[in-house]
Amino acid sequence: MNKKVLAALAVSLLSVNTFAKQDWQLVWNDEFDYQGAPDDSKWSFDTQGNNWDWGNDEAQNYTPKENKNAWVEDGNLIIEARKEPYRWYGDGQTKEYTSARLRTLGKGDWLYGKVEVRALLPKGNGMWPAIWMLASEEKYGGWPKSGELDIMENVVYDPNKIHCNIHTGAYNHSIGTNKGNTVSTSLPSENWHVYSMEWDAEKVIFFLDGEQVFRFDNEHKTSQEWPYDQKFHLLLNVAVGGEWGGTMGIDNSVFPQRMLVDYVRVYQMGEVLEKDADLQLNTSLTDAICYGEMTNLEIDTAGTGKPLEPSKLVITVNEKVNGETRTIENLYSENGKLYATVAPIADAEYTTVVSYRKGEENEQVVTKENTLKVVPQILADVKVDEQQVEVFVFEGGSQPFEYVLDYDNFQTDSYFYNLSYGKHVIYVKDALGCVSNTYEFDIVPKNGTHSEVVGNSSCMVYQSAGTLYIENAAAGTSYSIVSANGSTLLSGKLDAAASVSVASLSCGYYILLVGDKSFPFVKE
């Protein structure tokens, strides 16, 4: 399967009490457990800054909801930057890139609190994703006087660096007094990380995966140094180019690029229970996985911000197949979460039982049954008719199917025409992204005398006893042989026999380039 499927069982704690203390309480969140456009009761598409290139000479136009540069799918918010022309009506300017900038202004505005965002970042020169906050009412004036809080910025030409910054009238990059920090992390375009910030009247602290990376303290001077005594709102965006993001240019080959957001959670200090809690635990489970894959069941034990006591938390995962139930016991803990790795069986039911013991005689148990659909194995075959082939699926998978020939691009048409002579491979992909095994076949000319042959009527290539023979090619014609990843292994000019020895090559898939023609072949 091309995409990783995670079965996430989120555990949250909500309570009322008779004896309480101050601690973080969840006040606003989006878990993206729906499909379609971002929830418009929480998010707005921010576009007006297109009129002035957002003050950073950015190369994209941010688009409204209708352009679908941001949507929710498979439990994630997706913000996609694309290379496509888009004319912004405000200034009449057409730019060659589009993206989205979402904000919570008027729908989520907070004075002090903790913000947590779990995200997967885009890659490629020119990408500039950000998770940040701005003042909602700008009581001290326009930028930077009313302040900015950059929870995460990543200029992708330096892909493993995460930047956390504050901007105020006294401290900002435009006058060379910026305050912030830069830290390295592991491949944020391939590994999920949690970017967070805690903010109160005395300080702002930034975190990466729970580790403090920067702290800014209130100097108790003026609003020029500390404008952070007013409500702020959250922004999520992926810029393209700009004065910082475009320092090393824009790599047009990487588009489209996406930032994925698993959740956004905002907490504020409030009363939480020491005892007599009304505990509620909620679980959810994704519903599909490809045949033969392993699945991680992820159980978040952090609750509303304070980890539950491990000694009081009991979690079991049961697997029911054909009426028989077994308990999955290989749970392990890492970074405040529990995990269980299982190899699902088709149509098995996975029941998660979560309990939290508040006392020896005070235990609440929540159970939820989910059917985890295991997509049956895709079984396909090919029908070869001279130089064309038809692919058909006779078992497994989920329609509609897509097909790819010789590691090229997937297509919806199951027919391939005018194929070159020689070996070919076919893959089939279904609607859930599951991919079949490889199906190999040969295209051989009717009058062919060699076991392996590729080419067409104007130029034939035969392979025999470790040598390639090229018909209808003149002596002195340039040739080269490249590997499947594009590395040149052999090169030269054809001799009078128009033959090339491939005896030195190891077994594998190669491409012969003769003049302006290319011929794939397999060395066995």
Q: What angle do CA 301, 304, 307 make, to 5 degrees?
A: 40
Q: Using CA atoms, how far apart are residues 452 and 80, in angstroms rounded to an integer?
A: 45
Give kind and range of the element (H or E) at residue 33. Answer: none
Please report the beta strands in 141-256, taking only residues with DSSP state E, as ranges in sequence order. Answer: 148-153, 161-167, 179-184, 193-199, 203-208, 211-217, 232-240
Tokens of 516: 């302006």
Q: Residue 295 in contact with residue 342, Cβ under 8 Å?
A: yes
**Residue pointed to by tokens 């790795």:** 341
Give catalytic status of residue 153 as yes or no: yes
DSSP string, 313-336: EEEEEEEEETTEEEEE--EEEETT
- H or E segment at 394? strand 388-395
Distance CA(252)–CA(248), nearest Å, equals 12
| Phi, psi (rounded to 5 degrees) for 498 | 50, 50
Catalytic residue, candidates 116, 153, 198, 225: 153
Record the tokens describing residue 378, joined without a space. Answer: 């895709």
Residues in the chain: 524
Contacts for 220 with CB less than 8 Å, ≥ 6 apart: 226
Write down the catalytic residue from 58, 80, 116, 148.
148
Active site residue 84: no
- For residues 503 and 482, give the distance between their C-alpha atoms in angstroms, rounded to a whole number: 15
Residue 29 burial by CB count (10 A; 0-12/13-18/19+): exposed, middle or buried?
Answer: middle
Catalytic residues: 148, 153
